[in-house]
Amino acid sequence: MNRRDFVTALGAAAAANWSSSTAIAHAAMSPLKQLADHKGLMFGSSLALKYFTQSPAYKQLFISQCDIATPELQMKWNSLSHQPGVYDFASADQLVTFCETNHIKVRGHTLVWHDSLPAWIPGRLSSTTAETIMLDHIHAVAGHFAGKLYSWDVVNEALDPGSQRQDGLRTSPWLQNIGVDYIEKAFRATAAADPHALLIWNENYLEVSNGFGAAKRRAMLAQLDILLEQGVPIHGIGLESHLRGNQANVLGDASYEAFLAELAKRGMKIFITELDIQDVTLPADVSERDQTVADIYKKFLTATLRQSAVKGVIAWGLSDAFTWLSGYAPRKDGLPARPLAFDANCQPKPAYYAIADALETAPRRA
């Protein structure tokens, strides 16, 4: 049975009895990190160590499948600091140690964002304080982990064409209180604090070929041109890729590939950083739903990986047992969300085989 036939068979088996396909699945499954490595790519997932306590099987799955990880919450500002100038790195340090022990690279996530801020920050921000607060945070956090991480998401979700600004920048607290050069200042400060890490601008909705996505792409390229002309050390772009089950017609088309090519022309390394697929709009039938999700993974990743500037794929979770979408986008019929490559029992789904196929057919990086 070839892989494509197995995907169909596995989807049908899932609707009836997942346990009956377990032995076949294990026999057919190759680690995604291994398939990626054969093409000069990395594969990984978001990571929260608490899930390992809940499921030892998930711990083994993570180690077997991933060679790069993004902390789910542990390096966000509100997780690290609950009062000005005071940081608790214990949880984040534990995650980094786990990854070092298991030869997994770590992406720092995230230094400057309009969300996940400690409660004390909004009342202290002003045109005279915001820059110092931002830079002190970058120096403290990036400095603490200097030399230990593969990359930093320096600036996160800085664009919003709906803001009515001509430059497409989001009217975040940092833009409002520091000005448009807050992005430049953040990247330069991170480069000084952790000079060996790749510095990434992480952004959402760049992968969607509709009016909003097209506006975001134009704003991204325009801002990149300005910043790179000024010598700002931006090394790569992260595309979050929280996709939806009803987006098949606006994903992976020629305009998307052209956008990736434009990023590559500017010397950018490209990463898919938070990949999952909401199934809230899809049918209840498990087989049909899983196949639709798998088809979207295959279409999107095949188009993405044709661009050699793409260096890695990081999912936002591996097992449906631990997906944020269960709370963020629950199904109205009450059925469990199934957005990821492995089911709640850490067994491969059609999505796994779709991702594997996309990796296997990708051109090898030099």
State how far Cα 321 lies from the chain centre: 18
Do β-strands 198-203 and 151-156 pair in parallel, antiparallel, or remain unpaired? parallel
Rounded distance between C-alpha atoms, residue 203 and residue 194, angstroms: 21
Q: Which residues pair with 271 in a beta bridge?
A: 238, 312
Locate 102 and state its tokens: 């298991």
C-alpha separations of 37 from 30, 167, 249 in Å: 12, 38, 30
| Secondary structure of residue 120 in the 3-state scheme | coil
Would you tell me the crossing angle of helices 211-229 and 254-265 to the nearest 10 degrees? 10
Do β-strands 310-315 and 42-47 pair in parallel, antiparallel, or remain unpaired? parallel
For tokens 């608790």, the residue is 88
Q: Which residues pair with 277 in a beta bridge?
A: 243
Would you tell me the crossing angle of helices 130-144 and 182-193 to the nearest 10 degrees? 30
Rounded distance between C-alpha atoms, residue 137 and residue 37, angstroms: 34
Locate 181 and state its tokens: 């050069």
Is 157 marked active-site? yes
Catalytic residue among 131, 184, 207, 274: 274
Catalytic residue among 157, 184, 203, 207: 157
Q: What are phi and psi of 109, to 5 degrees?
A: -150, 115
Is 133 in contact with 85 (CB distance < 8 Å)? no
First-last CA distance in the chain: 32
Is 207 marked active-site? no
Q: What are phi and psi of 311, to 5 degrees?
A: -110, -15
With left for phi above 0 and alpha for psi between -120 and 50, is residue 68 left, alpha or beta?
beta
Catalytic residues: 157, 274
